[in-house]
Amino acid sequence: MYLYLLGLVVFYYLYRWVRELPRVSDKKNKYVYITGCDTGFGNLLARHLDKQGFRVIASCFTEKGEEDMKKSCSSNLITTHLDVRSNESVAKVAAMIKDKVGVCGLWALVNNAGVSVPSAPCDWLTIEDYKSMLDVNLNGLIAVTLSVLPLIKKAKGRVVNVASVFGRISPTGGPYTVSKYGVEAFNDSLRLNMMEFGVKVLCIEPGFFKTNVTDPGNLLKQTNILWNKLPQEVRDDYGPDYVQKISKMINEKLSKMSDSDLMKVVSCMEHAVSAVRPRTRYSPGWDAKFFWLPLSYMPSCVSDYILSREAIPIAKSRK
């Protein structure tokens, strides 16, 4: 019986592997618009797709990001400035893309731009802290998508949204997980809406990888800034050594959990863009596959117990 089940599992994965091998043709006439190409996943993906022959439109937030992309890629790659928080900036880039792609339309949009700070316990933050991140991670993603959706429908192309395992489970406070849950919801609704137009909507849900989003220095700096702004009564609730506990958790657990092989994520992005039969969801990272996603399916009492013991520093009032 066990050998029979094992055989079925092996057959399924072999069948899926073979089925997912074919790639789209005529790449030189397929435009791919990527947000957040200054560093990290977006930067690597733009370079990777450019080498494969796609016509990449790499949007960056900084001039340095644009300059670095131009130096390291072919003349076919187009760079542009984009601030996803600005409707004017989003519309300007969309107009440029419309002129470039012409009647072919836009083959793919990869919504990669995102930030991870401020992240902290909910009662450390203000509504403005939430708005600042939602404007990038969620509202900006939606704005960019809607700005070029008619072009994607014309090409019967695809939208690739970068969410996170934290769009499935919420072990931290603050707006990051809220924004990623929102990306998941937008992704699902858009996928259903676009089916009849031949547009594929796909989601990448990475675990922890070594990027600016998970940089311990940035996270600890932001934690200290927020702590120093707190009223004394809130600090007393958490205890004077709470920041030290967070620092220990970030330096020990986060650093060990974060994978340095960014190509695991980029390979999923590339497959979503170029495969004839892409997957609906990708979960790059062993921690995503074997810890976070299984944990998200467990009863709340189980996941809460595990997270409160392993991921969330204990406040003074909870001792």
Exposed, middle or buried: residue 53 (CB in 10 Å: 0-12, 13-18, 19+)? middle
Q: Vertex 259, ends 59 and 252: CA angle to 5°? A: 120
Told to judge if 15 belongs to the known catalytic residues of this protein, a careful annotator would answer no
Catalytic member of 31, 176, 181, 282: 176
Residue 96 · residue 31 · CB < 8 Å? no
Enclosing H/E stretch for 176: helix 175-194
Report the C-alpha gap between 203 and 223 in whole angstroms.
29
Spatial distance between the Cα atoms of 69 and 79, rounded to a whole number of angstroms = 7
Report the distance separating Cα 195 and Cα 246, nearest Å.
Answer: 44
Other Cβ atoms less than 10 A from the Cβ of 300: the count is 7
Distance of alpha carbon 65 from the chain centroid: 19
Phi and psi at residue 262, to the nearest 5°:
-70, -20
Beta strands in 117-193 (DSSP E): 158-162
Q: How many residues does the chain have?
A: 319
Residues identified as active-site: 176
